[in-house]
Amino acid sequence: MPKNRTTAKQRARQIQRTPGARLPYGKALEAARSRQLHPDQARKALQELVDADDIAESWRARLRGHLPAADHADRPTMEDAISLCEDLYVLSGTLAPDEVLPGIPPALRYFPLDHLRAALKTGSAPDYLYAGIAALTGPLRHLLRRPYLARPQEDDVTYQARKVPTAPSRQMVTVHTVDGLHVEDISFPRPWGMPTTTGYFTCETAPGREDLARAVLAHALGGTAPTSRASCGACHGNGWLTALNPEHDAHVPAYRPDGGHVCVCGGCRGTGLRPLPVELFAATFLRRLQARTGSEVSRREILEWTAAHAPAQPATRARCAEGPQDAYVRHVVAAVTDAGFTVVRTDAPGGYELDFDEQGVLGAHFAVGGEAALRAFHTDSVLLIWFSDRGWSVTGFGAVRRLLPDDLVPAPHAVAQTLVAPAAEDEAPSTRRPPLHLDPYTAVLAYLAPTHP
């Protein structure tokens, strides 16, 4: 049995000499350091960090402050563990909460800190402190090169795609520093000023892969902020325009839509993004992002690629156009009409009414009739209603029948097909809630013409 004073390097050699072991020295050293440290080993590991040449001077001074406490017989205490926890928050570039208890900052969740998580489960201050010191001498050591209290540089990050455990067909993209520090999750690209919507991307279809590519490309270029290289030049990234006269001959970006008529920008069709080479970007980078080996793509690499492949900003005057909500509902109306129903005309344009606000709440309703309605519902006409919180439903004579309850933004032809063959009256309704990661704004854009950015 090795003595408690055996160093991590000595234990790594012992692991390598174990019968059947095929670990390189680096892996063996990592395995040795991930185990519990004896107090004497913890003190020696701290001293080695203090004396190391590749540690920032400010961090060396910080770690040096832990050494005197390590010599006390009653050490470690909960106060020592809390102090180390504060260091982990500083190391991750985030502010520690007011009441700091031993834990792992969310920004470090993708680091190989299983031994630290195991120590947290025990609730033991010594176990946590020794596991934290092992992490500082192992997977977190390269982060100590950055000065104390210095945040990661935002212009030098990498992107990684990860499969969602509960939905293998969906992926989320995370942003990391070159050290592997988690910064944030990629959000759906939405017009500037709208609430961001982070979530999962469906990658089994071409539109889904393009959505993911657009999100990564837009994020790397600066999103839809007015100063971004990805923002629309006509509306300055907010997706809306204000008409300066009733004839809509002139428009300005709708920074504060407190007067005049607010229109959807015709340059970006409400997306806030200028035309981007998403198809070429997907073909070039998504295979690397989705590699099982954990491949990553750097922001610097994306910027260099975009400079050579992105088209120039269109030099067109600001003009308004049909909004994405009109396009989606128009597709639904066309599909319902093709299925044999008659859209009952109303005073609203196109025979339907809709609502779509800056929060992403979309709704529409129109009446359908004709022989198809008689066959399917045994009535002359029914009211077709859609809202983003419950999907499409059919209302007639006070009864409400939900259609496609599992789809928040169903395909137009799916709505028409369900109308033709409605569910049986005694069929149990679905209790499954719509997926929370789905952004109605982004989903509706899938039904626009393929020329949208």
pLDDT of 335 reads: 92
The whole-angstrom separation of Cα 249 and Cα 200 is: 40
| Model confidence band, residue 1 (pLDDT cutoffs 50, 70, 90) | very low
Angle among Cα 63, 68, 71 to the nearest 5 degrees reads 120
122-181 residue pLDDT tens: 888 888 888 888 888 888 888 888 888 887 766 678 898 888 777 777 888 888 888 788
Q: Rounded to an integer, what is the distance from CA 425 to the centroid of its chain?
A: 39
Residue 194: strand pairing partners: none
The residue length of the chain stands at: 453
Cα–Cα dist 219/225, whole Å: 10
Residue 442 sits at the vertex; the CA angle it makes with 431 and 302, to the nearest 5 degrees, is 130
3-state secondary structure of 241: strand
For residues 387-406, average pLDDT: 74
Task: With CA atoms as reference, report the closest residue to 184 among 194, 172, 192.
Answer: 172
Cα three-residue angle 446-450-453, rounded to 5 degrees: 80
What DSSP element (H or E) covers 354? strand 353-356
**The predicted structure's pLDDT at residue 281:** 93
% the chain with pLDDT above 70 = 77
**Where does the pLDDT of residue 263 fall: very low under 50, low under 70, confident under 90, or very high at 90 and above?**
confident
Residue 19 reports pLDDT greater than 80: no
Residue 258 has pLDDT above 70, yes or no: no
pLDDT score for 337: 92
Q: Measure CA 232 to chain center.
A: 22
Half-sphere exposure of 421 (CA within 13 A, CB side): 3
Asked if the model's pLDDT at residue 97 lies above 50, the reply is yes
Confidence band, pLDDT 50/70/90 cuts, at residue 4: very low
Tell me, what's the pLDDT at 428? 53
10-37 mean pLDDT: 63
Span 296-318, pLDDT tens digits: 888 989 999 998 888 877 777 88
Output the average pLDDT for the chain. Answer: 79
How much is the pLDDT for 401? 80
Bond from prior residue into 311 cis (ω within 30 degrees of 0) = no
More confident residue, 38 or 221: 221
Let me know how many helices (H) and strands (E) the chain has, helices first. Answer: 15, 17
Say if CB 367 and CB 384 are below 8 A apart. Answer: yes
By CB neighbour count within 10 A (0-12 exposed, 13-18 middle, 19+ buried), where does 345 fall? exposed
H or E segment at 228? Answer: none
Work out the pLDDT band at 280, boundaries 50, 70, 90.
very high
DSSP state of 390: T
Burial of 423 per CB tally in 10 Å (0-12, 13-18, 19+): middle
C-alpha separations of 334 from 304, 322, 415, 419 in Å: 43, 16, 11, 13
CB 251 within 8 A of CB 320: yes
Concatenate the DSSP letters of all residues of 250-310 into one string.
Answer: -EEE-SS-SSSEEEEETTTTTS-B----HHHHHHHHHHHHT-TT---EEHHHHHHHHHHHS
Q: Report the chain's terminal Cα–Cα distance, integer Å.
A: 65
Q: What is the pLDDT of residue 430?
A: 53
Model pTM above 0.85: no
Amino acid occupying residue 410: P
Identify residue 313 by its one-letter amino acid code. Q
List Cβ neighbours of 420 (8 Å cut-off, separation of 6 or more): 339, 340, 372, 376
pLDDT of residue 452: 44
